[in-house]
Amino acid sequence: MDTRDEANKLAKEVLIKLIECGTDIDEYYRKFRELRMLEDRSPSFQAALINVEHAFFMVVQSINILKEHLKLLEVAAKKTEIE
């Protein structure tokens, strides 16, 4: 069973969602970063905010990797097998 068309369709749907999700994540990241910059009373709480920022960064990196692999999937689907 050739699933290339279905995989391409699903990849396009996922890419759209990733862009939407990435925009939301970026907004939350900025809000936490702003809170960290404003925090001046508790170094330990500021460190916790840095950890949250780092986690958001890791999520964004994972999304970027996923986007790249979805694009590679599209390229692979266009290739034909040599028999």
Reported as a pLDDT band with limits 50, 70 and 90, residue 80 is: confident
C-alpha triplet 81, 78, 21: angle, nearest 5° = 135
- Give the CA distances from residue 67 to residues 4, 10, 44, 53, 58, in Å, rounded to whole numbers and listed in that order: 17, 12, 35, 21, 14
Q: What is the pLDDT of residue 44?
A: 97
Reported as a pLDDT band with limits 50, 70 and 90, residue 82 is: low
Label residue 29 exposed, middle or buried (CB < 10 Å: 0-12, 13-18, 19+): middle
- Outline where 1-83 has alpha helix (H): 4-38, 43-78
Reported as a pLDDT band with limits 50, 70 and 90, residue 79 is: confident
**What is the average pLDDT value for the chain, to the nearest integer?**
94
Going by C-alpha positions, the residue among 53, 55, 70, 54 that lies closest to residue 19 is: 70
